[in-house]
């Protein structure tokens, strides 16, 4: 019996899974539960909301009518506090109990504060939910100085959004901005664009202590530097949002550990999205790559498997596209920072134009790329990598005319002439 589906979390992964299940079978009930009291939205849009490029009303990906038509029960503002796998039950904060036959955990990740002296005594904001975004928006006025801890994707997009609003922004990071996507050289362009637009960036910083001084917050670094600021936002650490898993026996490492069909170690329980730790595409190594494309992939595949069909997850590929004030940064796969045997790297650059192109090949296949202000179709590069298209005979032309050759290779592959 797989008649009653419960999905915790209505982010992109949960939403996709619910719709996939409905698409495939006529289960009695598909229930989507969100702890936030709002319609589903995509966290990737939050920086744009903060920057004022869109209205809050445009955030919602689905409306009530949509769920009615699809026959999905959408419950909002209900937080789950405990999962009881033996009885196949979940317990809500208000004491209600719900039963399920198949469960998907897609609760995403939440901010985890670094272990810094005094941090619990200071109001540190996060930036992961629409609630965080609204809280931040309420505290901002024109002269607010904001300090962001961390230099990852969220930190960079948040910083640019704040700049767009006219605020002063300081980034304090352990490493350089977007270091997991771009190497030293191309990453320098990211930094340069940000600095050009007024973001102050300090990297290699370890925070020693934070303390409140009247209206301002003092951040004291290990090297003695002190940053005075009005608002402190932490984008440095994330952890899976799973307070309800205590004592359930569900295996958790960095995230909930799942196999290539997105199943946890307990039968009938699946996990997908930022909360799940899954094998990667190239080496089947476990890890979390908390980005939207992977969340969507995982949500879809979890949905299919939950209905009893078999579909295997190919594994995640790190990738990202960022548009920073007209400069497009695109990185995918092994972008050459991890060296290995039999890997061919080809690159070219023009510093004055902030242009950078790198393609990484392994055994005749494209396995990664890094592009700054390069005219390519990111989706097509992704296609060539994901489908392991044999491009061995075309490495040179593909490098020199990347856009056109990749388009042609994609078309040929679609015609089954390359596989």
Which H, E and C letters describe 18-61, residue by residue?
HHHHHHHCCCCEEEEEECCCCCCCCHHHHHHHHHCCCCHHHHCC
Q: Give the β-pairing of 276-279 and 256-257.
A: parallel
Burial of 384 (0-12, 13-18, 19+ CB in 10 A): buried
Report the nearest approach of other proteins to the CB of residue 321 (Å).
5
| Residues engaged in binding other proteins (CB under 8 A) | 12, 16, 42-45, 48, 53-54, 58-62, 292-293, 296, 319-323, 326-328, 330, 377-380, 382-383, 397, 401, 404-405, 407-408, 410-411, 414-416
d(CA 5, CA 374) in angstroms, rounded, equals 45
Please state the closest distance from residue 55 (CB atom) to other proteins, in A.
9
Tokens representing residue 43 in the block: 């966290």
Closest distance of CB 308 from other proteins, Å: 21
Of the two residues 278 and 294, which places its CB atom closer to other proteins in the complex? 294
Q: What would the two tokens of residue 380 be?
A: 């097509």
Backbone angles phi, psi at 96, to 5 degrees: -60, 150
CB of 11 to other proteins, least distance (A): 11
Minimum distance, C-beta of residue 169 to other proteins, in the bound complex (Å): 19
Structure tokens at 314: 């190919």
Residues near 269 by beta carbon (within 8 Å), at least 6 away in sequence: 85, 102, 103, 104, 105, 250, 263
Closer by beta carbon to other proteins, 51 or else 122: 51
Q: Which is nearer to other proteins, 58 or 351 (CB)?
A: 58
Query: 158 or 405: whose CB is closer to other proteins?
Result: 405
> Which residues 6+ apart lie within 8 Å of 206 measured at CB?
174, 221, 222, 223
Q: Residue 266 in 3-state DSSP?
A: coil
Contact in structure between 405 and 413 (CB atoms under 8 Å): no
Report how far residue 346's alpha carbon sits from residue 187's, in angstroms, rounded to the nearest whole number.
17
For other proteins, the closer of residues 347 and 377 by Cβ is 377
Is 222 or 325 the residue whose CB approaches other proteins more closely? Answer: 325
Q: How far is the CB of 164 from other proteins (least distance, A)?
A: 11
- Looking at the Cβ atoms of 99 and 375, the one nearer to other proteins is 375
Residue number with CB closer to other proteins (158 or 292) = 292
CA-based nearest residue to 234, from 148, 319, 167: 148
Shortest spacing between CB 416 and other proteins, in angstroms? 7
Any alpha helices (H) in 282-370, and if so which ranges?
A: 292-306
- Least Å from the CB of residue 52 to other proteins: 11
CB of 129 to other proteins, least distance (A): 14
Judged by CB, which is closer to other proteins: 229, or 335?
335
What are the two backbone dihedrals, phi and then psi, of residue 225, each rounded to the nearest 5 degrees? -65, 145
């Amino acid at each position: 019996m797989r008649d009653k589906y419960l999905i915790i979390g209505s982010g992109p992964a949960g939403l996709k899974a619910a719709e996939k299940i409905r698409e495939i079978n006529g289960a009695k009930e598909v229930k989507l539960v969100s702890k936030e009291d709002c319609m589903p939205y995509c966290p990737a849009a939050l920086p744009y909301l903060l920057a004022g490029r869109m209205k809050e009303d445009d955030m919602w990906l689905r409306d009530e009518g949509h769920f009615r038509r699809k026959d999905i029960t959408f419950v909002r503002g209900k937080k789950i506090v405990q999962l009881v796998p033996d009885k196949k039950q979940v317990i809500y904060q208000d004491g209600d109990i719900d039963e399920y036959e198949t469960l998907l955990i897609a609760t995403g990740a939440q901010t985890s504060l670094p272990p810094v002296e005094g941090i619990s005594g200071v109001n540190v904001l996060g930036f992961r939910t629409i609630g965080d975004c609204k809280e931040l928006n309420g505290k901002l006025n024109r002269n607010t100085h904001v300090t962001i801890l961390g230099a990852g994707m969220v930190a960079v997009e948040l910083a640019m959004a704040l700049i767009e609003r006219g605020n002063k922004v300081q980034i304090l990071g352990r490493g350089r901005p977007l270091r997991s996507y771009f190497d030293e050289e191309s990453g320098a362009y990211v930094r340069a664009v940000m600095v050009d637009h007024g973001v102050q960036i300090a990297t290699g910083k370890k925070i020693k202590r934070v303390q409140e001084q009247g209206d301002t917050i003092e951040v004291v670094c290990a090297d003695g530097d002190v940053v005075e600021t009005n608002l402190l936002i932490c984008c440095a650490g994330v952890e899976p949002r799973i307070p309800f898993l205590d004592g359930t026996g569900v295996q958790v490492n960095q995230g909930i550990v799942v196999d290539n069909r997105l199943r946890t170690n307990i039968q009938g329980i699946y996990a997908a999205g930022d909360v799940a730790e899954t094998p990667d595409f190239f080496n089947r190594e476990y890890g979390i790559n908390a980005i939207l494309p992977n969340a969507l992939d995982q949500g879809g595949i979890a949905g299919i498997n939950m209905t009893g069909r078999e579909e295997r997850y190919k594994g995640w590929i790190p990738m990202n596209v960022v548009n920073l004030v007209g400069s497009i940064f695109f990185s995918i796969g092994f972008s050459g920072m991890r060296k290995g045997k039999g890997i061919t790297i080809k690159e070219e650059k023009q510093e004055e134009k902030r242009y950078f192109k790198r393609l990484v090949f392994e055994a005749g296949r494209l396995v990664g790329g890094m592009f700054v202000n390069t005219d390519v179709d990111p989706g097509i590069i992704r296609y060539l990598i994901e489908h392991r298209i044999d491009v061995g005979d075309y490495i040179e032309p593909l490098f020199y005319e990347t856009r056109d050759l990749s388009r042609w290779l994609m078309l040929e592959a679609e015609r089954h002439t390359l596989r």
